[in-house]
Amino acid sequence: MVLNTIHQGSLDTTRIRADFPILSRQVKPGVPLVYLDNAATSQKPFAVIEAMDDFYRQYNSNIHRGIHTIAEEATAKYEEARGRIAEFIGAPSPKQIIFTRNATESINLVAFSWGRANLYPGDLIILTEMEHHSNLVPWQILASERDLRLEFIPVTPDGLLDLEVFEELLELKPRLVGFTHMSNVLGTINPAKGIIRLAHQAGALTVVDGAQSVPHLPVNVQDLDTDFLAFSGHKMCGPSGIGVLYGRKEFLESMPPFLGGGDMIKRVELRSFVTNEIPYKFEAGTPAIAEAIGLGSAVKYLDSIGMEKILNHEHEIASYALERLEEVPGVSVFGPEADRKGAIFSFSMKGIHPHDISQILDGEGIAIRAGHHCAMPLHEKFNLPATARASFYLYNTREEVDHLVKSLYSVLEIFGL
For 31-44, the pLDDT digits (tens) are 999 999 999 999 99
Domain ranges of the chain: 13-32+306-414, 48-304
**φ and ψ at residue 101, rounded to 5 degrees:** -85, -30
Rounded distance, CA 15 to CA 13, Å? 5
For 73-87, the pLDDT digits (tens) are 999 999 999 999 999
Residue 342 is predicted with a pLDDT of: 96
For 17-69, the pLDDT digits (tens) are 999 999 999 999 999 999 999 999 999 999 999 999 999 999 999 999 889 99
**Alpha carbon distances (Å) from 253 to 131, 259, 276:** 28, 15, 10
Beta-strand pair 176-180/124-128: parallel
**Alpha carbon distances (Å) from 128 to 74, 169, 209, 281:** 41, 11, 11, 30
**Alpha carbon distances (Å) from 352 to 81, 408, 415:** 46, 11, 8
Which band of pLDDT confidence, cut at 50, 70 and 90, is reported for residue 281? very high
Rounded distance, CA 404 to CA 390, Å? 9
Which comes out higher in pLDDT, residue 106 or 4? Answer: 106
Instruction: Enter the pTM of the model.
Output: 0.95
Q: Which residues pair with 180 in a beta bridge?
A: 209
Residue 6 is predicted with a pLDDT of: 34
What fold characterizes domain 48-304?
A: Aspartate Aminotransferase; domain 2 (3.40.640)
- Quick check: 264 and 282 in contact, CB under 8 A? yes
For 357-406, the pLDDT digits (tens) are 999 999 999 999 999 999 999 999 999 999 999 999 999 999 999 999 99
Residue 7 has pLDDT above 80, yes or no: no
Q: Quote the strand ranges of 269-411, DSSP E.
A: 273-275, 331-334, 344-349, 366-367, 369-371, 387-391
Closest CA to 213 of 193, 243, 235: 235
Beta-strand pair 243-247/97-100: antiparallel
Helix pair 289-305, 69-88: axis angle to 10 deg: 40
Residue 264 is predicted with a pLDDT of: 87
Dihedral sign, Cα of residue 285, residue 215, residue 197, residue 167: negative
3-state secondary structure of 291: helix
Active site residue 374: yes
b/e map 203-228, b = 16+ CB within 10 Å: ebbbbbbbbbbbbbbebebeebebbb
Candidates 1, 27, 137, 374; catalytic one: 374
**φ and ψ at residue 279, rounded to 5 degrees:** -85, -5
Residue 3 has pLDDT above 50, yes or no: no
Residue 11 is predicted with a pLDDT of: 92
From edge to edge, which strands make up the β-sheet containing 243-247?
Answer: 97-100, 243-247, 228-232, 205-209, 176-180, 124-128, 149-153
For 293-331, the pLDDT digits (tens) are 999 999 999 999 999 999 999 999 999 999 999 999 999
Residue 106 has pLDDT above 50, yes or no: yes
Which band of pLDDT confidence, cut at 50, 70 and 90, is reported for residue 10? confident
pLDDT over 90, % of the chain: 94
- What is the architecture, at CATH level 2, of domain 13-32+306-414? Alpha-Beta Complex (3.90)
For 156-207, the pLDDT digits (tens) are 999 999 999 999 999 999 999 999 999 999 999 999 999 999 999 999 999 9
- Quick check: 6 and 314 in contact, CB under 8 A? no
Q: Tell me what the mean pLDDT of segment 142-159 comes to.
A: 97
Rounded distance, CA 83 to CA 142, Å? 32
Residue 404 is predicted with a pLDDT of: 98
Q: Quote the strand ranges of 262-404, DSSP E.
A: 265-268, 273-275, 331-334, 344-349, 366-367, 369-371, 387-391
Residue 262 is predicted with a pLDDT of: 85
Q: What is the CA radius of gyration of the chain?
A: 22
For 254-280, the pLDDT digits (tens) are 999 999 988 888 898 999 999 889 999
Q: Which residues pair with 151 in a beta bridge?
A: 126
From edge to edge, which strands make up the β-sheet containing 331-334?
Answer: 331-334, 344-349, 387-391, 369-371
Residue 268 is predicted with a pLDDT of: 87
- Quick check: 232 and 103 in contact, CB under 8 A? yes
